[in-house]
Amino acid sequence: MSLIMLSSPHAHGGDSIRMMMFTVILALLPASLFSVYLFGWLSVLIIVTCMLTALLTEAACLKLMQRPLSALLDNSAALTGLFLALTLPATTPWWMAVVGSIFAIVLGKQVYGGLGHNIFNPALSARVILLISFPLNMTTWIIPMSIHMGAVTPTVNLYDFSQCLTLFFGGVNALPAVIAQGLDAISMASPLGQVKTQATLGVPVGQALAAYHYNVLDAFLGFEAGSIGETSALALLIGGIFLLARHSITWHIPFAYLGTVALLSAIFSSIAPDQFTPPMFHLFAGGLMLCAFFMATDPVSSPVTPNGQIVFGIGCGIITWSIRSFGGYPEGAMFSVLLMNCAVPLIDHYFRPRVYGHAKEKGDS
């Protein structure tokens, strides 16, 4: 450092990539812990497998690209693994978690040049690859254990480590027949899936939800079928507020995203309540909360300017609501984020803030 040219400033605020990523992991803690409460050891196994695989894949990639392995310490690979894990259903087999994590790191991130260069959110792209490749596994949900345990089937116990281990590594067929049947009995559709299937049959929204015993409070707290980390809007909200308080994210994307979904669903469900689901249903259903606070705000694949972030959030909201209301898939949150990811360079270019001393219209045409 003796005679190398160094420009000012000669002071630094102390932020680092490692701390930023760690903050996000910390913010996901409530959702992760709640998933363990709901889905027991299955959840632990999925999270650990995904994170480990992601780290190992990252290490292999760094080795191949002849980059220092110290980059592993930036926590970004671990975070990608955790993200992916939280979007998977509880019954995901081990190989799918492994394949998904490898996809996320290799195709989602490293082929673009590593950290900071990927266009798409790595965890979400892996999740979409899995969903398209293994649609059945990725849409099989089980009733959250802790509430219905015993009531439906006494044979399945997700807090039993050996049972979960067998299910995770051996699949349903490796389980004793009784347990496999029990498992079958507790599988059910997610609220979004229920509404979508019923809608194709022409059943009005209200009836479909009533038949499903849908309850807004349960959905908010997370006692419903869904991916392990997506069920509880409350846990995710706590994490999101933590991120906002720590200044890891700004309010723009989540606010614009959730606001748009809420607004659109409020308008349309008041016009045609039989066809469109109400805002509260939308907000607490599926992966919306996770996407709004964690996936869409992923710094690498979201716009950098505040105005751009608002546009990005609105775009995500419109696409999510449209796919949910009109599309073939019951859930559109992850597709919306990925689609908007493509538009980020364009958004960054056109929604730059007005520079000091320049007239408003001078931005760019």
Partner 1 sequence: MTGLLYALASLGAFALVAGLILAIAQKAFHIEGDPMVDKIDALLPQTQCGQCGYPGCKPYATAVAAGEEEVNHCVPGGERTMLQIADLMGVEPKTVEQEAAAPRLAFVREDECIGCTLCIKACPVDAIIGAPKQYHTIIADHCTGCELCVEPCPVDCIDMVTKPELLEHWSWPLPDTKRSQLAHERREQHAGHV
Partner 2 sequence: MPAMFRNIAQRLGMMAHSFPGGVHPDQHKLTGASPIEVCELAPVHILPMKQHIGAPCSPLVTVGDKVLRGQKIAKSEGYVSVPVHAPTSGTVVKIEEHPIAHPSGMGMASIFIETDGDDAVDQTLEPITDWQNTDPAVLRERARMCGLAGLGGAVFPTFIKLVRDKRFPIETVILNGVECEPYLTSDHRLMAEYADEILTGLHMIRHMVGASSSLIAIEDNKPEAIAAMREALANAGDLDNVRVVVLPTRYPQGGEKQLIYSLTGLEIPAGKLPMHIGIVCQNVATTKALHDAILLGKPLSERVVTLSGDALPDPANLLVRIGTPVRRLFARQGLDDFIGLQIVHGGPMMGERLKGPDIPVVKSTNGLLALGSDAMSAAHTVEQPCIRCGHCSEACPVSLVPNLLADQCRSDQFEKAEDYQLFDCIECGCCSYVCPSNIPLVHYFRYGKGQIALGRREQAFAEASRTRSESRDARIEREKAEKAARRSRVRKTHPPKADANQSSPPAKAADATANSGATADSTPEEKQ
Shortest distance, position 250 Cβ to partner 2, whole Å: 7
Q: What CA–CA distance (Å, rounded) separates 37 from 144?
A: 9
Among partner 2, partner 1, none, what binds residue 117 when CB lies within 5 to 8 Å by partner kind?
Answer: partner 2
Smallest distance, Å, CB 9 to partner 1?
Answer: 13
- 325 contact choice in partner 1, partner 2, none (CB below 5 to 8 Å, kind-dependent): none
Q: Is 187 helix (H, G, I), strand (E, B) or coil?
A: strand
Between 5 and 271, CB nearer to partner 1? 5
The interface partner of residue 358, options being partner 1, partner 2, none and the CB cut-off 5 to 8 Å by kind, is partner 2
CB of 342 to partner 2, least distance (A): 15
> Which residue, 1 or 271, is less far from partner 1 as judged by CB?
1
Minimal distance in Å, beta carbon 5 to partner 1?
6
**Residue 304: contacted member of partner 2, partner 1, none (CB under 5 to 8 Å, by partner type):** partner 2
Considering the complex, state which of residue 5 and residue 201 has its C-beta at the smaller distance from partner 1. Answer: 5
One-letter amino acid for residue 52 of the chain = L
3-state helix, strand, coil in the chain (%, to 5): 65, 0, 35
Binding mask 2-31 for partner 1 (x = CB under 8 A): --xx-x------------------------
Report yes or no: 192 and 225 within 8 Å, Cβ to Cβ.
Answer: no
Report the C-alpha gap between 242 and 254 in whole angstroms. 13
Cβ distance to partner 2 smaller for residue 27 or 138: 27
- Main-chain phi, psi angles of 188, to 5 degrees: -155, 170
Cβ partners under 8 Å of residue 348, min gap 6 = 303, 304, 305, 308
- Of 92 and 297, which CB lies nearer to partner 2 in the complex structure? 297
Q: Are strands 187-188 and 141-142 parallel, antiparallel or unpaired?
A: antiparallel
Q: How far is the CB of 66 from partner 1 (least distance, A)?
A: 12
- Are the C-beta atoms of 322 and 339 separated by less than 8 Å? no
> Which residue's entry shows tokens 């950290």?
115
* Residue 85 near residue 30, CB atoms below 8 Å: no
**Is residue 171 helix, strand or coil?**
coil
- At closest approach, how far in Å is the CB of 332 from partner 1? 32
Residue 274: which residues within 8 A CB-CB, separation 6 or more? 204, 205, 206
Q: Which residue type is seen at 263? A: L
Distance of alpha carbon 333 from alpha carbon 290, whole angstroms: 9
Q: Under the rule (CB under 8 A), what is the footprint of partner 2? A: 1, 3, 5-17, 19-20, 74, 76, 114-117, 250, 299-307, 309-310, 348, 352-359, 364
Nearer to partner 2, 176 or 353 (CB): 353
Residue 218, binding choice from partner 1, partner 2, none, Cβ under 5 to 8 Å by partner class: none
171 or 299: whose CB is closer to partner 1? 299
DSSP 354: P
Q: Which helix (H) or strand (E) holds 282?
A: helix 279-284
Given partner 2, partner 1, none, residue 307, with its beta carbon under 5 to 8 Å by kind, binds partner 2
| 263 interface partner picked from partner 1, partner 2, none, CB below 5 to 8 A per type | none
* Site of interaction with partner 1 (CB under 8 A): 4-5, 7
